[in-house]
Structure 1
Amino acid sequence: MSETQAETVTLVVRHQVRPSHVPHYEAWLRRIIATASQCPGHLGVDVVRSRQPCVAQFTCVLRFASLQQLQNWIESEQRRQLIAEVEPLLRAGDQLEIAENKEFWFMPESAQAPPPRWKQACVTFLVILPLSLLVPLLWQPLFQRIPWLGGYLPSNVVITLSIVLLVVYLFMPMATRLFDAWLNPTVDEDRS
């Protein structure tokens, strides 16, 4: 037995489904999983579903005992017929990737690219500027009452810590939700 035959082979199938077709797709997915499980060498399947604003992404990870058995499934008439049936429900067709090992790593739901850095910088500036002007003024009465806390190093530590905590836990989550459409524009080409 060769090394290729001895090692599990993974097939990763990605489908982007139009939102209005998700129930039909899920019914189809149950049928193709049942069909694949009957194939020689089939070792199991995992399905990961993620939802983006305009599309539902399904990632199916199928494992086979050998590359040849995987190829037999991919080229089978049953699979061809099932894929032809589901094509109208998909936005980007049937996307396949073969990995000749047991493990497979992928990016979950937030697989979209991050916003451009200049947009991130603009939102961060809009959040930090008002805080950097306001927070020192709010701490001023306490610094006057406790002189050692108003010293250069302690006051800067307190002010910086306050700003960081407010940015990370309160204002940046609110700002990213507020500016989400601008940070992550999506083209909604499917209104059906």
Structure 2
Amino acid sequence: MTTDDRQPALRTATLDEIAGRATPGAETVTAVIQQTVRRERVADYERWLKKVVPIASRFPGHRGVNVIHPAAGSLQYTITIRFDSLAHAQDWFDSDARRQLIEEAQPLLEAQEKVETRSGLEFWFHPPAGQPPAKRYKQFLLTLSVIYPLTMLVPAVLHWLLAPVPVLSLYGVEHLLASAAVVGLMVYLIMPRYTRLMARWLYK
């Protein structure tokens, strides 16, 4: 399956025009799916999962799937599937392919699946089951504790690295690259791990 995300006009755009554009893919959307499986159908469900993941990965904007297996004594599976935009996530959830897969899975489930769609900070600060939501001031402080050092260090390091390349060291281009680096580090590397590390304080 192909996408229409390519934009030929970018080939002839000036540096200032590109620097003024929004950073692509910064607002990753994560769908969290919870499914409780019939005890006698777990093996069938596991086979069904192996079928779902490669099909989902062929949809535009797909950014990965994680399957969290049930804790001891539980039969609830949690599936997180990430897309680069809400529109691409909606394409998957509204597709005939997914409807067919859910029809196949229905006899294996104890109840209807639960689906939540979250993006950005909302996903990072979603509490574990049974925990109250994180207080706003804690979300603010935790995010600030990451943003502050990143916005100090990343631009300085990039400025030093890009200085020998005049085109890349232009203010607009350098600022775009620094912003993209900070967002990428936040979304893909730091915040998912940091919020887990600080969970005891965050949800207290």
The TM-score with structure 2 as length reference comes to 0.48
* Residues 1:58 and 2:77 aligned together: yes
Q: Give deviations 1:85-108, integer Å, cap 9, x for gaps.
A: 10111112121000012744453x
Structure 1 residues 90 and 28, CA gap change in structure 2 (3 angstroms): same
For 1:50, what is the secondary structure of its paired residue? coil
Which residue identity does 2:87 align to in structure 1? Q
* Residues 1:8 and 2:28 aligned together: yes
* Residues 1:93 and 2:76 aligned together: no
Give the alignment of 1:28-177 within 5 angstroms.
Answer: 28-51=48-71, 53=73, 55-101=74-120, 103-104=123-124, 105=126, 107=128, 111=129
For 1:20, what is the secondary structure of its paired residue? helix
Structure 1 position 18, deviation (Å): 1.0
Distance (Å, rounded) in 2 between the aligned partners of 1:8 and 1:112 = 25
Q: Give deviations 1:34-55, integer Å, cap 9, x for gaps.
A: 10011000000111011453x5
Structure 1 residues 89 and 98, CA gap change in structure 2 (3 angstroms): same
Q: Is the 8 A contact 1:5 1:67 kept in 2?
A: no
Distance (Å, rounded) in 1 between the aligned partners of 2:44 and 2:66 = 19
In our comparison, the structure showing a higher alpha carbon Rg is 1
Which residue identity does 1:16 align to in structure 2? T
- For these two proteins, the number of residue pairs brought into alignment is 109
Distance (Å, rounded) in 2 between the aligned partners of 1:63 and 1:56 = 23
Distance (Å, rounded) in 1 between the aligned partners of 2:30 and 2:97 = 19
Which residue identity does 1:42 align to in structure 2? H
Q: Is the 8 A contact 1:5 1:66 kept in 2?
A: yes
Structure 1 position 58, deviation (Å): 0.7
Structure 1 residues 106 and 19, CA gap change in structure 2 (3 angstroms): farther
For structure 2, the 5+ residue unaligned runs are: 1-20, 132-204
Calculate the aligned-residue CA RMSD, in Å.
Answer: 2.4
